[in-house]
Amino acid sequence: MKMGRVQGNREIVFFLVTYVQQIYGRLGGDESTDSCFMVSTASGRLQCTLWAHGDLNVFFSKTLLNMDVYQQTNSSVTTKSLSSSWLPAEAYARLSTSTYGNVVFGPSQYQTVWSHGQRTPHALIASPQDNWNVWVVGWEDITSGGNRSYNDAVILINKLPPAP
Protein backbone atom coordinates (compact mmCIF):
# COMPACT_ATOMS: atom_id res chain seq x y z
CA MET A 1 0.00 0.00 0.00
CA LYS A 2 1.43 3.40 -0.93
CA MET A 3 1.17 6.25 1.56
CA GLY A 4 1.90 8.89 -1.02
CA ARG A 5 4.64 11.48 -1.08
CA VAL A 6 5.48 13.52 2.02
CA GLN A 7 7.47 16.73 1.72
CA GLY A 8 10.92 16.66 3.34
CA ASN A 9 11.66 18.18 6.75
CA ARG A 10 8.33 17.01 8.15
CA GLU A 11 7.67 14.87 11.19
CA ILE A 12 5.67 11.71 10.58
CA VAL A 13 3.86 10.21 13.56
CA PHE A 14 2.28 6.77 13.27
CA PHE A 15 -0.41 5.42 15.57
CA LEU A 16 -1.70 1.98 16.50
CA VAL A 17 -5.18 1.25 17.84
CA THR A 18 -5.48 -1.91 19.90
CA TYR A 19 -8.26 -3.81 21.59
CA VAL A 20 -7.40 -5.58 24.84
CA GLN A 21 -10.08 -7.07 27.04
CA GLN A 22 -9.95 -5.22 30.34
CA ILE A 23 -8.39 -7.08 33.29
CA TYR A 24 -8.48 -5.25 36.61
CA GLY A 25 -5.75 -5.52 39.22
CA ARG A 26 -3.51 -8.58 39.28
CA LEU A 27 -5.08 -11.77 37.96
CA GLY A 28 -3.16 -15.02 38.24
CA GLY A 29 0.17 -13.20 38.41
CA ASP A 30 -0.32 -11.39 35.08
CA GLU A 31 -0.24 -7.62 34.94
CA SER A 32 -3.55 -5.86 34.64
CA THR A 33 -4.52 -3.93 31.53
CA ASP A 34 -5.20 -0.79 33.54
CA SER A 35 -3.26 2.27 32.45
CA CYS A 36 -1.78 4.89 34.73
CA PHE A 37 -2.11 8.46 33.44
CA MET A 38 -0.69 10.44 36.39
CA VAL A 39 1.85 9.54 39.04
CA SER A 40 3.07 11.09 42.24
CA THR A 41 6.05 10.24 44.38
CA ALA A 42 4.78 9.19 47.77
CA SER A 43 7.37 7.90 50.25
CA GLY A 44 10.04 8.18 47.54
CA ARG A 45 8.37 5.77 45.13
CA LEU A 46 6.10 6.22 42.13
CA GLN A 47 2.42 5.81 42.83
CA CYS A 48 -0.44 6.12 40.35
CA THR A 49 -3.00 8.84 41.12
CA LEU A 50 -5.17 8.56 37.98
CA TRP A 51 -6.06 5.20 36.40
CA ALA A 52 -7.76 4.55 33.08
CA HIS A 53 -9.88 1.51 32.40
CA GLY A 54 -10.88 0.66 28.85
CA ASP A 55 -10.61 -1.94 26.12
CA LEU A 56 -9.39 0.39 23.34
CA ASN A 57 -5.94 1.92 23.39
CA VAL A 58 -4.25 4.32 20.99
CA PHE A 59 -0.46 4.37 20.94
CA PHE A 60 1.79 6.76 19.01
CA SER A 61 5.27 6.40 17.56
CA LYS A 62 6.11 9.74 19.21
CA THR A 63 6.47 8.88 22.90
CA LEU A 64 5.32 12.27 24.24
CA LEU A 65 1.88 11.73 22.68
CA ASN A 66 1.24 8.50 24.57
CA MET A 67 -1.05 8.90 27.54
CA ASP A 68 0.16 5.97 29.64
CA VAL A 69 2.91 6.52 32.19
CA TYR A 70 6.09 4.48 32.32
CA GLN A 71 6.19 3.66 36.01
CA GLN A 72 9.91 3.05 36.46
CA THR A 73 12.49 5.53 37.71
CA ASN A 74 15.01 4.60 34.98
CA SER A 75 14.05 6.13 31.60
CA SER A 76 15.84 3.34 29.68
CA VAL A 77 13.04 0.89 28.89
CA THR A 78 14.98 -1.80 27.01
CA THR A 79 17.85 -2.34 24.59
CA LYS A 80 17.31 -4.60 21.59
CA SER A 81 19.82 -6.30 19.34
CA LEU A 82 18.23 -5.41 16.00
CA SER A 83 19.84 -8.38 14.22
CA SER A 84 18.91 -11.22 16.57
CA SER A 85 16.71 -10.72 19.63
CA TRP A 86 14.15 -8.13 18.56
CA LEU A 87 12.04 -10.00 15.99
CA PRO A 88 11.09 -13.68 15.66
CA ALA A 89 13.39 -15.76 13.40
CA GLU A 90 10.64 -15.97 10.75
CA ALA A 91 10.49 -12.17 10.52
CA TYR A 92 14.25 -11.88 9.99
CA ALA A 93 14.06 -14.58 7.29
CA ARG A 94 11.17 -12.81 5.55
CA LEU A 95 12.81 -9.37 5.70
CA SER A 96 16.02 -10.73 4.14
CA THR A 97 14.23 -11.92 0.96
CA SER A 98 14.15 -9.87 -2.24
CA THR A 99 10.36 -9.55 -1.89
CA TYR A 100 10.89 -7.46 1.24
CA GLY A 101 13.96 -5.60 -0.03
CA ASN A 102 16.78 -7.71 1.46
CA VAL A 103 16.50 -5.93 4.80
CA VAL A 104 19.27 -7.12 7.11
CA PHE A 105 20.41 -5.48 10.34
CA GLY A 106 24.12 -5.52 11.15
CA PRO A 107 25.32 -7.66 14.06
CA SER A 108 26.47 -4.57 15.95
CA GLN A 109 23.15 -2.71 15.61
CA TYR A 110 21.54 -2.16 18.99
CA GLN A 111 18.83 0.27 19.90
CA THR A 112 17.76 1.52 23.30
CA VAL A 113 14.12 2.51 23.76
CA TRP A 114 13.66 5.47 26.11
CA SER A 115 10.67 6.84 27.96
CA HIS A 116 10.30 10.59 27.81
CA GLY A 117 8.71 12.67 30.52
CA GLN A 118 7.49 9.43 32.13
CA ARG A 119 5.51 8.64 28.97
CA THR A 120 5.66 5.05 27.75
CA PRO A 121 7.29 4.44 24.37
CA HIS A 122 5.25 2.13 22.15
CA ALA A 123 7.29 2.07 18.94
CA LEU A 124 10.83 1.09 18.05
CA ILE A 125 11.80 2.52 14.66
CA ALA A 126 14.94 1.06 13.12
CA SER A 127 16.87 1.33 9.84
CA PRO A 128 19.50 -1.13 8.62
CA GLN A 129 23.02 0.34 8.59
CA ASP A 130 23.33 -0.16 4.83
CA ASN A 131 19.85 1.03 3.79
CA TRP A 132 18.56 4.27 5.33
CA ASN A 133 15.62 4.22 2.88
CA VAL A 134 13.94 1.51 4.97
CA TRP A 135 12.23 1.80 8.33
CA VAL A 136 11.07 -1.18 10.34
CA VAL A 137 8.54 -0.09 12.95
CA GLY A 138 7.89 -2.50 15.82
CA TRP A 139 5.07 -1.86 18.26
CA GLU A 140 4.43 -2.67 21.91
CA ASP A 141 0.67 -3.07 22.18
CA ILE A 142 0.09 -3.19 25.95
CA THR A 143 -0.17 -0.18 28.27
CA SER A 144 2.71 0.90 30.52
CA GLY A 145 5.28 -0.95 28.44
CA GLY A 146 3.76 -4.43 28.32
CA ASN A 147 6.44 -7.10 27.90
CA ARG A 148 8.75 -4.64 26.10
CA SER A 149 9.10 -6.87 23.02
CA TYR A 150 8.31 -4.15 20.47
CA ASN A 151 7.34 -6.84 17.98
CA ASP A 152 3.59 -7.19 18.54
CA ALA A 153 2.92 -5.51 15.19
CA VAL A 154 5.75 -4.89 12.73
CA ILE A 155 5.54 -2.62 9.69
CA LEU A 156 8.10 -2.27 6.91
CA ILE A 157 8.28 1.15 5.27
CA ASN A 158 10.29 1.73 2.09
CA LYS A 159 11.12 5.39 1.64
CA LEU A 160 11.70 6.63 -1.87
CA PRO A 161 14.61 8.95 -2.56
CA PRO A 162 13.67 12.46 -3.72
CA ALA A 163 12.58 12.74 -7.34
CA PRO A 164 15.23 14.30 -9.62
Q: Is the pLDDT of residue 29 over 50?
A: no
Averaged pLDDT of the chain: 83
Tell me whether residue 30 is in a domain: yes
Q: Is the pLDDT of residue 126 over 50?
A: yes
Find the mean pLDDT for residues 159-164: 66
DSSP state of 63: G
Report the alpha-carbon distance of residue 9 to residue 11 in Å, rounded.
7
Residues 6+ apart with CB under 8 A from 95: 87, 101, 103, 104, 136, 156
Angle at CA 97, nearest 5°, toward 122 and 104?
Answer: 55
pLDDT per position as a tens digit, 99-125:
998 999 999 999 999 999 888 999 999
Tell me whether residue 164 is in a domain: no
State residue 83's pLDDT score.
95
Tell me whether residue 21 is in a domain: yes
Tell me whether residue 54 is in a domain: yes
pLDDT per position as a tens digit, 55-104:
788 899 999 998 888 877 789 999 999 999 899 999 999 999 999 989 99
- Domain that includes residue 99, residue range: 15-158
Q: Is the pLDDT of residue 42 over 50?
A: yes
Tell me whether residue 98 is in a domain: yes
pTM of full prediction above 0.85: no
Tell me whether residue 107 is in a domain: yes
Number of domains in the chain: 1
**What does the buried/exposed string (b/e) look like for 111-143 if buried means 16 or more CB atoms within 10 Å of the residue's CB?**
bebebeebbbbbbbbbbbeeeeebbbbbbbbbb
Tell me whether residue 23 is in a domain: yes
